[in-house]
Structures are given as C-alpha cells and as structure tokens.
Structure 1
Amino acid sequence: MTQSPETASAPAPLHWKLVVDCAEPQSQADFWAAALRYEVEDNGAFIERLLELGALPRAATVEFHARLAFRDLVGVRHPEDPYDEDSGTGLGRRVLFQRVPEEKTVKNRLHLDLHTPSGQREAEVARLGELGASVLREVAEPSGSWVVMADPEGNEFCVH
C-alpha cells in the first residue's frame, strides 16, 4: 500500500557545510571566524588520538592557536550550533577551508552574502577591511545596494 503525499514522512534535510578551496586554511579560518563572528573549530584532541593510533602522520598537522590542527583543513562554526565533542567538528552552520595547490584564477561561482543590521553596512565594510578584506566595488541597482568585497585570498563576497 502506498502512502499519500499528505501521510508520507518527508526525508530529513541534508546536513551541509560550505567548503572553500584556498592556499592557507589557517589564515582563511581566522579571517572568516572574525568576519562572521564564528569560532575556529578545535580538532586538537581528535588529532592527538589519530596520531597516537598511527592513523595520521605528524606532517599532516600544524600548531594553530597553541593546539594541533590539520595542516590542510580548518573549519569555522557558528558559536551557538552543536558540535561533536570528540572531534571538535561543527554540526550546524559551518565553513571548511581546504588547501589546494592551484591559485584562484576566476570569479567565484558561489559566494557568501553578509547581511548587516539596518544602517550598519558602512561600519561593517570598514571592520572587514581592518581584518584584511578589500572593497572591489559598490553596487546600486533598483533591487538594492551592496558592497562587493574580497577576502585576503581574493574570494568575493557581498555585504548588504
């Protein structure tokens, strides 16, 4: 017997994270944690266990914020969202920075839009500039206005 759409239970939504390819995951994580007011994930205890088990070579780690971190991956997470206490990995809103060998060469096909409280865009653009972002252009269209910025590695994002 098939269930009608009204009585069938919907599949659970998928968990996701945004992954950003970059040259320096740790500096990108620091920038975006400050920009979004997120927290850099602490995977130190998990990494220690992996090292003890021989499941991770020491060369795959770096010291970051006075603790061990993955050399090629660093995540930032919303401070109010849940996280896995064993691994330090966020289970909610999260951005992961992943080292890749190639440089960024073209405009992003996906970007973040940061939404500021009314009347605070100019101050937020200034704050982001102090963190290392740069203004690429200001946009004013009938549908609204915003500032297109780039993070320290040139990834575009918008401030509304």
Structure 2
Amino acid sequence: MAVHWKLVVDCADPVALARFWAGALEYVREDHSALIDRLLAAGAVGDDAWTTVDGRKAWRHAAAVRHPDDPVDDTTGTGLGRRVLFLAVPEPKQGKNRLHLDLHAGPEGRDELVARLEKLGATRVRAVREPGTDHVIMTDPEGNEFCVA
C-alpha cells in the first residue's frame, strides 16, 4: 500500500511562504480557522497561537497549501492529498537544500513561468543548459532553491 506524505518546509515566516508557494504552484492555502476555533473553545491553545490572515484565523507557527482538486477534511481544513506544510523554526536556512521541487512548464512555457514566479518574489539564480537538461535554478523568498524546467 502506498504511503501518504506531505512535504514539510522549515522557514521563518510560514504565512508568507505559503502565500508564495500557493501562487507558484496554483495551489490553495489551507483554512484552519475551524480547527483553531475548536481548539480555542476547548482551551487547548491560547490566543498567542494564532493570527488573522485575509480575514481568517491562521496558525502563527504553520501554514499549508494543497492541490485544489484534492479532498479536504472539513473539520480541520487540512488537505488530504498533495500538500506542502510550512513550519516556523528559529534557525535561519544554512547551505544548499538537500531536497527541492522541480516545476515543469516545458520549453514553451518556461520563460513565462519564471517571469510569473519572479513577480511573486522568487529570484532567478542561473540558467542551466547541459546535455540532458535545460532548466532555471531559482530561490523562493526565503532562499530555498527550486528548478523550473
């Protein structure tokens, strides 16, 4: 049986990074306000655990994006399929990522996607044209590397 998974990204600002990656992947930012309300009512979390983002309650320490076509747990707002979770950590990013995303636009759509990502806050690092590969290395707003092929 296949294993369910999510990609977890350590970061400084989960809300901002989720906003970037939702735009980059054309995913949906998860709405955890129902879960936060339930945990607040039960006394399980305090007011310091959440903030308001775009008029909804959101965790201060975490944010996630999910594929728009995948199912969602309505009681928590958590995606049940393809998703990326961003978690706040105290230490800054150091060195090159050991794991990264490749976004596939194809040769005909690569330049347009790179330009759109730059408008969202990504930085173009360099183009790579070698036998067997033709892609652009970029970084997200917190310096995490990814490729556009």
| Short-chain TM bin | over 0.9
Matched, 1:36 2:25: yes
Alignment of 1:1-160 (within 5 A): 12-160=1-149
Unaligned runs of 5+ in 2: none
Report the AA paired with residue 55 of structure 1: A
State, as a whole percentage, how many aligned pairs show the same letter.
Answer: 56
Aligned length: 149
Give, in whole Å, the separation in 2 of the partners of 1:105 and 1:80.
34
Q: Secondary structure at the match of 2:111?
A: helix
Question: Structure 1 length normalisation: TM-score?
Answer: 0.91
Give, in whole Å, the separation in 1 of the partners of 2:2 and 2:81.
12
Q: Secondary structure at the match of 1:147?
A: strand
Going from structure 1 to structure 2, the CA distance change for 1:75 and 1:50 (only over 3 Å counts) comes to: same
Deviations 1:81-114 (A, max 9, x none): 0110110000100000000000011000000000
Measured after TM superposition, the shift of residue 156 of structure 1 is 0.2
Q: Secondary structure at the match of 1:98?
A: strand
Report the AA paired with residue 2 of structure 2: P
Which of 1 and 2 has greater Rg? 1
Measured after TM superposition, the shift of residue 117 of structure 1 is 4.0
Measured after TM superposition, the shift of residue 30 of structure 1 is 0.2
- Runs (4+) off by over 6 Å: none
Deviations 1:101-135 (A, max 9, x none): 00011000000000014401001000000000000
Give, in whole Å, the separation in 2 of the partners of 1:64 and 1:80.
23
Report the AA paired with residue 77 of structure 2: G
The root-mean-square deviation of aligned C-alpha atoms, in Å, is 0.7
Question: Structure 2 length normalisation: TM-score?
Answer: 0.98
Give, in whole Å, the separation in 1 of the partners of 2:80 and 2:54.
21
